[in-house]
Amino acid sequence: MKLEKDSLTILKEALERLDGGFAELPDVNAQYDKDALRGVLLEVADRMQDNYPYFHPCYAGQMLKPPHPVARLAYMLSMWVNPNNHALDGGRASSRMEKEAVAELARIFGWETHLGHLCAGGTMANLEALWVAGKLNPGRKVLASDQAHYTHSRISDVLHLDFEAVPCDSRARMDLKALEDSLKKGDVGTVVATIGTTGTGAVDPLPAILELRDRYGFRLHADAAYGGYFGLVDNLSDETAASYRRLSEVDSLVIDPHKHGLQPYGCGCVLFRDPSVGSFYKHDSPYTYFSSSELHLGEISLECSRAGASAVALWATQRLLPMTRDGEFAAGLAKCREAAVTLFGKLEADPLFLTMFEPELDIVIWAPRANRSSEVSRMSKQLFDAAAERGLHLALFTYPARLLREAWPHVEFDTESVACLRSCLMKPEHLDWGDRLWELLLDATHSISK
Ligand SMILES: *Cc1c(COP(=O)(O)O)cnc(C)c1O
């Protein structure tokens, strides 16, 4: 068995319990053609086989992590009610669960008070954070590193805010000298610090950025869509941990439960340190908010209709696996980082490969060794295919040559960018599967032509 199915019996039991709560209603029978439905669903099962096996430890490529069974089941269970967390009228229980779950996320960063909510994902969450930032600093620039998610420049465009990319150092983190040069121009309103870049998991040096905020004054937003949860683990490098310790001092923060938080897609989260920014969301809906004086989440979010099921799934996951430093969730995340450091150690020690820097989180970047950057790219692509043929699924990643010159002094750079391999080791199982994946990687590497 490759897909977990045992937990489905619990869904049936919980569905009976849920049904019991509506016992006083007159009976209704759902009207649908069961045979036709069965035919379609089996067709879906056939169609869905055309995917990489994201749920399996042999998938060690892009940023994809299977939801926890409890998240899957809680999401499905709530589908029978299908709540809408726009307003309490559409989802009372799930709105309360959202507030509880989001407060627990805020506490990871030491925030006992906050304003925040779930949304479709990191893009939407960052959009809301930059929208508020733009309201507070109209006409002033947004800065993010050139390794920050591309969404920041696009969002700035949507919001009609000027955007400037700050160059990175050789470890893919925002270069402080370059940042200060931009700040000196005096037109910066917001700096986005990426806490775990999507490409390499690099963490921008937050303590130094906070020091610059004291001197130059700007709004500081942390994009921790990928890396946020690593604030719970105890095996980061001292330097990386120092950035996490200061996260409570940023003005807003984004964390994606659908990245490392074991959730199905459609679950991002934006958090503001100062709850008074809620006033920017003010509107006067003629449709929704008449049922109670309790806060409707639609009053503090840009999206209107939203899946209450996402909140239910997140709440259930955090109920089972609390967001504590000494809990099972944090231990699983620490294993991901250990898996990445272990793989990096093997790659670094092997003359077949080129490496860059020790992973700060759980993302490893490397390439097959060659003398010219064009050769490195060609061989990376070959290795990607050769590994997939052996059942090991990696990702390709294009990296700027200028960030590699220092790490690869013996490589001749005849291209502006280099195709490398990338593994997001997002499953705790990746630690135990390390030797097996390494053997597959070596076998694939020996098979490609120099
Ligand atoms: C994934 C990611 C985003 C975008 O989030 P989505 O959930 O894909 O919309 C933004 N920033 C970072 C750092 C990310 O890793």
pLDDT digits (tens, 9 = 90+) for 94-112: 999 999 999 999 999 999 9
Phi first, then psi: give them for residue 420, nearest 5 degrees.
Answer: -125, 175
pLDDT-based confidence at residue 278 (cuts at 50, 70, 90): confident
CA 305 to chain centre: 22
Residue pair 384/396 in contact by the 8 Å Cβ criterion = yes
Class of domain 328-449: alpha beta
Ligand 1 first shell, C-beta below 6 A: 121-123, 126, 149, 151, 194, 198, 223, 225-226, 256, 259, 268
Q: From the CB of residue 46, how many other CB atoms can be counted at a distance below 10 Å?
A: 8
CA of 145 to the centre of ligand 1 (A): 14
- Residues 103/108/109/110 CA torsion (nearest 10 deg): 70
Quote the DSSP letter at residue 174. B
* Helix, strand, or coil (residue 233): coil
The number of the ligand 1 atom at minimal distance from the alpha carbon of 196 is: 13
Question: Which tokens hold the place of 396?
Answer: 């390709």
CA of 292 to the centre of ligand 1 (A): 34
Phi first, then psi: give them for residue 256, nearest 5 degrees.
Answer: -105, 100
pLDDT of residue 316: 98
Residue with tokens 């209704």: 28
∠ CA 269-75-231, nearest 5°, is: 35
* CB half-sphere exposure, 22, CA atoms < 13 A: 10
389-407 confidence digits (pLDDT tens): 999 999 999 999 999 999 9
* CB half-sphere exposure, 272, CA atoms < 13 A: 24
Is the domain defined by 88-320 classed in CATH 3.40.640.10? yes
CA distance 94 to 310: 9
Nearest CA to ligand 1 atom 5: 122
Question: Which tokens hold the place of 148?
Answer: 């920050």
129-166 confidence digits (pLDDT tens): 999 999 999 999 999 999 999 999 999 999 999 999 99
Residue with tokens 């199905």: 264
Sorted by where each begins, the domain ranges of the chain are 88-320, 328-449
